[in-house]
Amino acid sequence: MANLSLPKSNSKSKICSIDGCNEKHRALGLCQRHYDRQRPKPLFVPCSIEGCEKGIEKRQMCPMHYRRWRCHGDPFITQKIHGAENRFWHFTNKNGPIHPRLQTRCWLWTGRQGRGDYGSLWYNGSKIGSHRFSFFLHYGHWPVPECLHQCDVKQCVRPDHLKAGTHRENMHEAMQRGRLGNGQNPLTDDDIREIRRLLKTGMMQATIAKMFGVESSRISRIYTGKILQSVV
């Protein structure tokens, strides 16, 4: 008996199912043009910068403001700041929180951040840490072999919060201050009051946790009122 089965259809010979369209089939019975038309359009979200009506690209900013932020650390900069020293002071905020152990304010870097959340800037064609440049700017020589934070705040560039030291010294101090291990350093009533004050300034809980050598979860419990000081 003869085989009467129909030959298999070749998808390459299919055309668009829209009447009057003879373009090549792409998907769902449609050509590329009609397929693109029926796809849902992404929700438009405007740039977070006030007065900008462009759509966002990254970090809630449009491509223009995002490029400015990535290059200069500030989405409002329209002209390049010449000179590493000028850029350093432009992105240094001297009104940081008072460190509970050092009893002086941290100078917080507000510019771009590099690997490990440390601040960075360009100097003589090379990208270096903003804390290392601060050490060089104030003391006239580079920290050898490494630049250590005595305040344990990575964004701090205050020169008297920095010192030259070795990686071994850094790890030893981290163990002493509870930055390594279980993060269960004891907190005094004064520490808890200072943590509450820092939280009200909008400082990130992770940054506060590193300052006091505890886990972020403990700072979160202080914020939500699950940990209360015994002295009011």
Structural tokens at position 44: 């438009």
pLDDT per residue over 43-55, tens digit each?
A: 788 898 888 988 8
With H, G, I as helix, E, B as strand and everything else as coil, classify residue 65.
Answer: helix
Residue 48 resides in a domain: no
What is the Cα–Cα distance from 111 to 92, expressed in whole angstroms? 8
Structural tokens at position 182: 């279980």
Q: Are residues 170 and 210 in the same domain?
A: no
Residue with tokens 């008996």, as numbered in its chain:
1
pLDDT per residue over 106-125, tens digit each?
A: 999 988 887 777 889 889 88
Q: Are residues 88 and 171 in the same domain?
A: yes
What is the Cα–Cα distance from 148 to 131, expressed in whole angstroms? 9
Q: Which domain holds residue 155?
A: 83-176
Pairing of strands 108-109, 120-123: unpaired
Residues counted in the chain: 232
User: How is residue 8 annotated by DSSP?
Assistant: P
Q: Are residues 157 and 210 in the same domain?
A: no
Residue 59 resides in a domain: no
Q: Are residues 158 and 210 in the same domain?
A: no
User: How is residue 148 annotated by DSSP?
Assistant: E
Q: Are residues 217 and 148 in the same domain?
A: no
CB atoms within 10 A of CB 158: 23
Q: Are residues 100 and 172 in the same domain?
A: yes
Q: Are residues 92 and 162 in the same domain?
A: yes
Q: What is the pLDDT of residue 232?
A: 32
Residue 207 resides in a domain: yes
Domain count, the chain: 2
pLDDT per residue over 2-40, tens digit each?
A: 444 434 444 456 888 888 888 888 888 888 888 888 777
Q: Are 164 and 195 in contact (CB under 8 A)?
A: no
> What CATH number should be reported for the domain holding residue 164?
3.90.75
Q: What is the pLDDT of residue 13?
A: 63
Residue 172 resides in a domain: yes
Residue 42 resides in a domain: no
Q: Are residues 138 and 169 in the same domain?
A: yes
Among residues 85, 65, 82, the alpha carbon closest in space to that of 74 is found at 65
What is the Cα–Cα distance from 88 to 90, expressed in whole angstroms? 5
Q: Are residues 194 and 172 in the same domain?
A: no
Query: Does the pLDDT of residue 166 top 60, yes or no?
Result: yes
* CA max distance for the chain: 99
Residue 154 resides in a domain: yes
Q: Are residues 87 and 171 in the same domain?
A: yes
pLDDT per residue over 56-103, tens digit each?
A: 888 888 998 888 877 767 788 776 667 889 989 988 999 888 888 899
Residue 193 resides in a domain: yes
pLDDT per residue over 167-214, tens digit each?
A: 888 888 877 776 655 555 567 777 888 888 888 888 888 888 877 767
Q: Are residues 143 and 204 in the same domain?
A: no
pTM value is 0.53
Q: Are residues 93 and 143 in the same domain?
A: yes
Query: Does the pLDDT of residue 135 top 80, yes or no?
Result: yes
